[in-house]
Amino acid sequence: DADPNTVRDADPNTVRDPDTNPVRVGDALPDTKPDRYEGRRGAAYSPSIAIAVAVAVAVAVELGRDLDAHADPFLERTSVTPAPGPERALAGACILICAGMLVMGWALKSQCLEPWDGRQYARLCYNDIQALYGARGVDESVFPYVHGALDGGELTGGAIEYPVLTGLLMWATGLIASDADTYLVVSAIVLAPFAVVASYLLARLARWRALMWAGAPALALYAFHNWDLAAVAAAVAGFWAWHRGRPGWAGALFGVGAAFKLYPLLFLAPLLLEVYTARGAASAGPQDKNGAASVGERLRAAAVPLAACAVVLAAANLPFIVAGPQGWLATWRFHAARGPDFNSIWLWAAPTLETTRLNLLTGGLSVLSFGVAIIFGGRRARAEGAFPFIQVSAAMLAAFLLLGKVHSPQYALWILPFFVLLKVSPLWWAAYAAADALLYAGIFRWFYDVAYRGLDSTIAKQALLAGLWGRAALLTALAVIFSRSTLAVTRRHTPMAAKTWPLSHPSPRVTSGSSVGA
């Protein structure tokens, strides 16, 4: 994330980490290199982006046909059933709207295909993709992690602050880019299909509600800001696999997502509890005296997604741990040592809090909030017959975003699928989008005011603070609303599901109804 007390070099190909190589307010701004960028405009790359979107549409359609062609052998023995399939026109509309938002996102970020002389903040086109091209050795095709290290707080030698699949994606796209501008173009082409596939799967899961993903302003703001779309697509695919009655595949896909960005790992514990209560009871194994599956049978069922996730994470990480343990560890040491960022409540609420204490505070509060969400989910399971997997996952993510010491702008993409999958009012989605957009515009305009105008207390800063605290209030409310909501994805009652939680008098399962705020 950018630092308002720093400015980037005018040439983003030589940009350095602002935390370790800053240019302070009042320093002479570096000379720009207009000749190198003369005649280069984002519109020139629009056909490539359009082609990438078209290919993604074709892949998504074929994926849907393939999934429809294979019946789930476990489906009739579980409590999960597909939602009524949306008309192809609806899925197509979601994809087209998503494509339109991606084009808008490209129009925004392509303004940075020119000298970074302040326009990256003034025009709101700043992106980590160009900023990290030189700062993380992508410009020199340094293979990530293996020879990396954390030297004086700076990641060097190919060390990257993201999990390994994101590092590999950064490196691979850098191989065919000659400078930071073409790197942004190539990255946009690679990332666009992830957004389209997520749109298609969400449309299949929740019909028209998928428009809250496909048409979200955050998609235009952040699609090409960082590499988070890959993790979001993997997480959505995990929810799709769960919906199809394949919890093992769901666990594996959450592992893939966690190898891009860690947050999908949050969904593993709720998934295991859902499988333990519902999938275990549906298995044709030993049963207890009440007719429910035995504890051993449930544990074996829950072990499947756990093992699948573990295998994926091991396959992704072990080669780097063996080849360069210091480079792999540098990622996690970097995050342990870093302070709060400007998008986090902690920088503004406790700016002088020492990093070690901040880590303990945020970690402790996060674990506590996760425990509360899981306990509340357990109470719902006793009343309804199955653990509310998606609701608890959403509540845990909202708490994580609220309490984390780092809250990068593009994290807004993480929470969007839950507005689709749960029956919460679109007004909550609109309020969150408004607060997020206000924060986005405010923070980058404030960076410009501080770094290029020498001003601090400006309207932009007030917008930043209004957006930040407004978003914090919304996340607090959403953690409760998500946990109490019902699924927008259709589910059905099965007799066995009512016996999945060992109580003397289990209540009938709730399968429909209005949610809080719906």
CB of 345 closer than 8 Å to CB of 472 = yes
* Eight-state DSSP code of residue 165: H
- Using DSSP's 3-state secondary structure scheme, residue 462 falls into helix
How do the domains of the chain map onto residue ranges?
12-18+45-499
pLDDT (tens digit, 0 to 9) for every residue of the chain, 518 residues total?
544 444 344 344 444 343 333 333 333 333 333 333 333 334 444 444 444 444 444 444 444 444 444 433 333 333 344 444 445 788 889 999 999 999 999 999 999 998 888 889 999 999 999 999 999 999 999 999 999 999 988 999 999 999 999 999 999 999 999 999 999 999 999 999 999 999 999 999 999 999 999 999 999 999 999 999 999 999 999 999 999 999 999 999 999 999 999 999 999 999 999 999 875 444 445 555 555 677 888 899 999 999 999 999 999 999 999 999 999 999 999 999 999 999 999 999 999 999 999 999 999 999 999 999 999 999 999 998 889 999 999 999 999 999 999 999 999 999 999 999 999 999 999 999 999 999 999 999 999 999 999 999 999 999 999 999 999 999 999 999 999 999 998 553 333 333 333 322 333 333 333 333 33
pLDDT at 515: 38
- Using DSSP's 3-state secondary structure scheme, residue 80 falls into strand
Token match 């940075």: residue?
Answer: 112
Task: Please give the span between the terminal C-alpha atoms of the chain, in angstroms, as a whole number.
Answer: 35
Q: Is 224 exposed, middle or buried (0-12, 13-18, 19+ CB in 10 A)?
A: buried
Q: What is the pTM of this model?
A: 0.80
pLDDT at 494: 36
Q: Is 206 exposed, middle or buried (0-12, 13-18, 19+ CB in 10 A)?
A: buried
CB of 377 closer than 8 Å to CB of 442 = no
Amino acid at 116: W
- Torsion angle of the four alpha carbons 447, 453, 459, 460, in this order, in degrees rounded to the nearest 10: -20
- Using DSSP's 3-state secondary structure scheme, residue 487 falls into strand
Q: 3-state SS of 332-367?
A: HHHHHHCCCCCCCHHHHHCCCCCHHHHHHHHHHHHH
- Using DSSP's 3-state secondary structure scheme, residue 100 falls into helix
pLDDT at 48: 46
CB of 317 closer than 8 Å to CB of 164 = yes
* Eight-state DSSP code of residue 498: G
Two tokens, residue 377 = 């989910």
